[in-house]
């Protein structure tokens, strides 16, 4: 996904928070799932501030995260979020995270997330409502975005047979929201866990994820990854998937 710059005009919502103990890993670095929650909370605060409540039904489709500087415990951060583009039944939310340093604020993380607008009664994609364009259209500046998914499934990833690790990924009751679906941050928690086992977060500068289906209570989830493939080309992204009965529900690619 293209990380477009902040708009020259239009709605840009700004909020802040502090990175606290419950947000960080053993090394004091903000975990990826915590960062995902920061971004989601900023979006929710934006719609609440705009007076449209939760903005209706939206499902995450994909996200790109670019890391310039890892957030750490105690960091004071500012999140600026705006609409980066529109489609018939979806919209892109851009978020830029700045952190306060001794030399002033610096960009730590850039993110772009594509959200599908859905009918809450049918659960099917629905046209973006007129109020959305009136509120966010100016910031999008006429830019259109696609909802196409591009990350390959395990059997189409080009990874040599036998180099994809697999292990169970148990779901907990605390993973689920009021709709009975696993929170969007759960996939990021799986990435974080796999990195802690056989990767180095310090080597990661970009993460692309795709949400291909909901994780629901009772699902028998398997985590597949190429993180431990010692023979892999270091220029190629490490890949990870969450699958249920062989079907991919969540896909990720991490680039150095």
Stretch 7-21: mean pLDDT: 97
Fold of 154-255: Thiol Ester Dehydrase; Chain A (3.10.129)
Q: Do domains 13-140 and 154-255 have the same CATH topology?
A: yes
pTM, two decimals, is 0.93
- The band of 52, judged by pLDDT with boundaries at 50, 70 and 90, is confident
pLDDT of residue 179: 78
**What is the radius of gyration, based on Cα positions, of the chain?**
18
List the single range of 87-91, 155-159, 192-196 with lowest mean pLDDT. Answer: 155-159
pLDDT of residue 180: 85
Asked if 202 contacts 243 with a C-beta cutoff of 8 angstroms, the reply is: no
In the CATH scheme, what is the code of domain 13-140? Answer: 3.10.129.10
Pairing between β-strand 104-118 and β-strand 90-101 as defined by DSSP bridges: antiparallel
Extract the tokens encoding 238: 């490490």
pLDDT of residue 123: 84
Name the residue ranges covered by the structural domains of the chain. Answer: 13-140, 154-255
Q: How far apart are CA 146 and CA 201, in angstroms?
A: 29
Which three-class secondary structure state does DSSP give residue 193?
helix
Per residue in 170-179, pLDDT (tens digit) is 999 999 988 7
Asked if 171 contacts 220 with a C-beta cutoff of 8 angstroms, the reply is: no
Task: Say if residue 161's pLDDT is above 90.
Answer: no
Asked if 213 contacts 249 with a C-beta cutoff of 8 angstroms, the reply is: yes
Task: Say if residue 199's pLDDT is above 80.
Answer: no
How far CA 148 is from CA of 2, 16, 38, 115, in Å, comes to 13, 32, 25, 12
């Amino acid at each position: 996904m293209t990380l477009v710059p902040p708009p020259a005009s239009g709605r840009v919502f700004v909020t802040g928070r502090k990175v606290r103990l419950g947000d960080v890993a053993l090394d004091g670095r903000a975990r990826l799932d915590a960062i995902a929650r920061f971004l989601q909370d900023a979006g929710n605060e934006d719609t609440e501030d705009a007076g449209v409540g939760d903005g209706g039904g939206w499902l995450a489709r994909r996200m790109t995260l670019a890391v310039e500087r890892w957030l750490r415990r105690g960091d004071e951060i500012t999140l600026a979020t705006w609409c980066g583009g529109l489609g018939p039944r979806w919209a892109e939310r851009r978020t830029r995270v700045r952190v306060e340093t001794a030399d002033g604020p610096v960009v730590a993380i850039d993110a772009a997330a594509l959200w599908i607008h859905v009918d809450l009664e049918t659960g099917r994609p629905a046209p973006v409502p007129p109020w959305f364009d009136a509120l966010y259209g100016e910031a999008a500046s006429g830019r259109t975005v696609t909802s196409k998914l591009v990350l390959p499934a395990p059997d189409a990833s080009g990874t040599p047979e036998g180099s994809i690790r697999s292990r169970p990924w148990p779901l907990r009751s605390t993973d689920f929201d009021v709709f009975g679906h696993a929170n969007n941050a759960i996939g990021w928690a799986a990435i974080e866990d796999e990195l802690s086992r056989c990767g180095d977060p310090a080597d990661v500068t970009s993460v692309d994820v795709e949400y291909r289906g909901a994780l629901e209570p009772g699902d028998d989830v398997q985590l597949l990854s190429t993180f431990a493939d010692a023979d892999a080309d270091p220029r190629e992204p490490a890949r990870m998937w969450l699958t249920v009965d062989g079907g991919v529900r969540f896909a990720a690619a991490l680039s150095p």
